[in-house]
Amino acid sequence: MRDLGGLWSDLTDLVLPAGCAGCGARAAGTRQGFCPGCVQELESLRPAPVRPTPAPPDLPPCVAIGPYAGTLREGLLAYKERGRHGLARPLGALLAEVVAAAVGRSRPVVLVPVPDSAPAARARYGDHLDRLAGHAAARLRRAGWPVRVLRPLRALPRPDSVALDSAGRAAAAESAFRLRRPGGPPPVGEGTSVVVLDDIVTTG
């Protein structure tokens, strides 16, 4: 089904351009939803290893493009919660940088976006991470990476993590997902890196 919410958002931006997703300014030269100053801030970000405190048991290595603050935070919120679906392209480009840094060299990669629950996907007119994964994969393919996007998980309803402490978020996360098909996810080839994608690294 066509993403009508995203289409409406994109058409509205063409007719009534929204302010910069990072700072809200209606500045000249806005590019892909961000003003020149915010573009410069985003372009200065570099992927780096991160670790939440306290880290959940058995948490694999994590890489992020930057702290959840400033232009990056505002851009993610505008994309995720305010219907600015046109931001998927620049945010997907940043996500591609993170994947490349996490894997380390060009090799087969499988991207697994953490799925939205059905109510969240309906409210956002589509799964926001699935959309980002598609843009990231396309960018990596253009750079010569063999990339697939797999969606082996479905999300179950879960409490709002804002109201939970780290132990509560970890407990909620353990029961938040189920495999879409019995027997486990589809196999991946030997030497393939599997990268789980999420928008924010937290303790849960």
Residue 4 counted as domain residue: no
- Position 6 scores a pLDDT of 42
Residue 139 counted as domain residue: yes
Instruction: Report the number of distinct structural domains present in the chain.
Output: 1
8 A C-beta contact, residue 111 and residue 103: no
Model pLDDT for residues 48-81, shown as the tens digit of each residue: 999 988 887 788 899 999 999 999 999 999 999 8
Model pLDDT for residues 89-134, shown as the tens digit of each residue: 999 999 999 999 999 887 899 999 988 887 787 888 788 999 999 9
Q: Residue 9 — very low, low, confident or very high, per pLDDT cuts 50/70/90? A: very low
Residue 12 counted as domain residue: no
The position carrying tokens 């997902």 is: 177
Torsions phi, psi for 109 (to 5 deg)? -130, 140
The burial of 14, by beta-carbon neighbours within 10 Å (0-12 exposed, 13-18 middle, 19 or more buried), is given as exposed
Residue 133 counted as domain residue: yes
Q: Coil, strand or helix: which one is 59?
A: coil
Higher pLDDT, 170 or 36: 36
Least confident residue range of 45-49, 162-166, 187-191 = 162-166
Residue 203 counted as domain residue: no
Residue 130 counted as domain residue: yes
Q: What is the span of the domain harbouring residue 60?
A: 21-183+192-197
By DSSP bridging, strand 62-64 and strand 193-197 are unpaired
Residue 204 counted as domain residue: no
Tell whether the torsion through CA atoms of 132, 123, 112 and 1 is positive or negative.
negative
